[in-house]
A = this chain, B = another copy of it.
């Protein structure tokens, strides 16, 4: 592999900025790599994409959520959720109930036994991947990382709000 690439002569910011050290880039790289790994599992073994998997996961824990409640919990776009839910309905992995008083709302739940069975199958793989990842970390490091991620998430959300990044929902 030809290493004829040389760093630019340092003249101003242009030369000293190193993408590989840039936190947003590194996070993106890590997140993409991890996502590809688990997407692989869901996709080829169970024909689910990531939005579908996420919907299954939250419904597994919180049966009866409506689509917009799923949106809140998964921080996914409502269109993405709508599509994922429709696919899951077609596959009979999820079913849609009637809300007692509000006909706009359609509570969702995992079907039994089909959807539940799939979920019980898939979760060990998800946890297994996570465990394999975390095997490189000590328990303390993991706890620490967990906190750091939470704080960074809060900070970036605050920054984005200040900057006016709009994601869902009007705001005029």
Interface residues of A (CB under 8 A from B): 4-8, 12-20, 22-38, 40-41, 54, 57-58, 60-65, 69, 73-75, 110, 116, 119-120, 123-124, 126-127, 129-130, 132-137, 141, 144-146, 148-149, 151-157, 159-160, 163-165, 167
The answer to whether B30 and A152 touch across the interface, beta carbons within 8 angstroms, is yes
Most chain B beta-carbon neighbours within 10 Å: one of A5, A16, A165: A5
The answer to whether A60 and B24 touch across the interface, beta carbons within 8 angstroms, is no
Which residue of B8, B24, B123, B145 contacts A13 across the interface (Cβ within 8 Å)?
Answer: B123
The answer to whether A133 and B152 touch across the interface, beta carbons within 8 angstroms, is yes
The answer to whether B37 and A165 touch across the interface, beta carbons within 8 angstroms, is yes
Which B residue sits closest to A75, measured CB to CB? B29
Number of this chain's copies in the complex: 2
A17 / chain B contacts, CB cutoff of 8 Å: 57, 60-61, 123, 126-127
Most chain B beta-carbon neighbours within 10 Å: one of A32, A37, A127, A156: A156
The answer to whether B163 and A40 touch across the interface, beta carbons within 8 angstroms, is yes
The answer to whether A33 and B160 touch across the interface, beta carbons within 8 angstroms, is yes
Which B residue sits closest to A4, measured CB to CB? B64
The answer to whether A25 and B54 touch across the interface, beta carbons within 8 angstroms, is yes
Given contacts A7-B61, A17-B60, A40-B163, 13 further A-B contacts (CB under 8 A): A13-B123, A13-B124, A20-B73, A24-B129, A27-B30, A30-B156, A37-B160, A37-B163, A41-B163, A133-B152, A133-B155, A137-B152, A144-B148
